[in-house]
Structure 1
Amino acid sequence: MADSVFSRICTLLDGRQITYGVLRHAPVFTSEEAAAIRGVPLASGAKALVCKIDEWFVLIVLPADRKLASKEAKKSLGGKSLRFATKEEVLEIIGLTPGSIPPFGSLFNLPTCCDRGLAEQPQINFNAGDHGISVSMTFAAYEQVEQPTLGSFAE
């Protein structure tokens, strides 16, 4: 599944004629490890979290140096309850493990919500369906391709 997610990302970006970079590296499991191996600021990481708001799932993308602001996110999304999806739910819904999820909910039929703070980064970086494959692209290109709902989701 990991290779097919990476292939799907490349197909999506190539189809839109988006310039992006690919870095293959030793597997990383934290945002800090990923930033270090990529040689980029932690804030440029696009951390993708599968969350359950009321009865539906959503992909929330944050700058990697921030954490989910549950109350703000719940309010922005108009929900009554918000929680992280369990590891089992993530595996069932998108077929990946946490930490390897790309910021493209559209690939998994999930709405994508992105914290406005990530837009402050000219270049963003993320794992591409694999703990050992990173993709980098401009935030503007990401926004053009994914068209996420922008809001206040991080603290």
Structure 2
Amino acid sequence: MVDTPAVRAVAASGLAHEVVEYGKVDSVEEAAIARGIALDRVIKTIVVRRGEGDLLMILVPGDRVIDWAKLRKVCGVSRLSLASAEEALAATGYAPGTITPFGSLTRLPVIADAVMGGLASIGGGAPGVAINLDAEELIAFLDAQMADVTRRV
């Protein structure tokens, strides 16, 4: 089994989970196929900047994208932006495409999209690694805020 900070963190959490290893993929659609699951079960972890040094993680189902107007309203701010790859790496220890709340260097606030439920397949902290677990348990463990912050692609 692969050993990443994310895999170690989820194992230590006590959450029921399954680690899935698969080959290199170039898109969320390919990730869903490689994991053998529906696209909406793949959960992307996106790091967003509210202000200088003020970052948060957004959990977005694979068939959806951030709706920036909705997210700004939920956050109570007029401006948000994607964190740079460098900011995300410094805060989480993970490169884009491998970012996950599990084992992150910094515990960032998490907002989970309101449509999440059932199986969640979240990044495992390395290319070709995913962690499958129950979305409700994931959200509760992360103490994530649930909110309508996405739209269909």
1:108 partner SS:
coil
Contact 2:93 2:105 in 1 (8 A): no
TM-score, scaled to structure 1 = 0.87
Which of the numbers 87, 90, 94 marks the counterpart of 2:88? 90
Q: Which residue of 2 aligns with 1:24?
A: 21
Please tell me whether residue 131 in structure 1 is matched to residue 132 in structure 2: no
CA distance in 2, matches of 1:105, 1:52: 20
2: distance between equivalents of 1:89 and 1:113? 18
Distance, in Å, in 1 between the alignment partners of 2:70 and 2:136 is 24
Are the structure 2 counterparts of residues 59 and 131 from structure 1 closer, same or farther at C-alpha, using a change threshold of 3 Å? same
Q: How big is each residue's C-alpha offset from its partner over 1:26-45, in whole Å with a ceiling of 9 and x where there is no partner?
A: 13342111100011000011
Percentage of matched positions with identical amino acids? 25
What amino acid is aligned across from residue 84 of structure 1 in structure 2? Answer: L
Q: Quote the Cα distance in structure 2 between the aligned partners of 1:109 and 1:77.
A: 17
Count of matched residue positions in the alignment of Structure 1 and Structure 2: 148
CA contact (8 A) 2:74 2:147 kept: yes
Q: Which runs of 5+ in 2 are unaligned?
A: none
Structure-2 residue corresponding to 1:51: 48
Q: Quick one: structure 1 residues 103 and 93, their matched pair in 2 at CA, closer, same or farther if it must change by over 3 Å?
A: closer
SS of equivalent to 1:117: coil
Question: What are the equivalent positions in structure 2 for 1:1-155 lying under 5 Å apart?
Answer: 3-12=4-13, 14=14, 18-55=15-52, 56-104=54-102, 108-119=106-117, 122-155=118-151
CA distance in 1, matches of 2:141, 2:76: 25
The two structures, once aligned, show a CA RMSD in angstroms of: 1.8
Distance 1:27 1:34 in 2: 8
CA distance 1:5–1:137, shift in 2 (3 Å):
closer
Asked whether the 8 Å contact 2:88–2:96 carries over to 1, the reply is yes
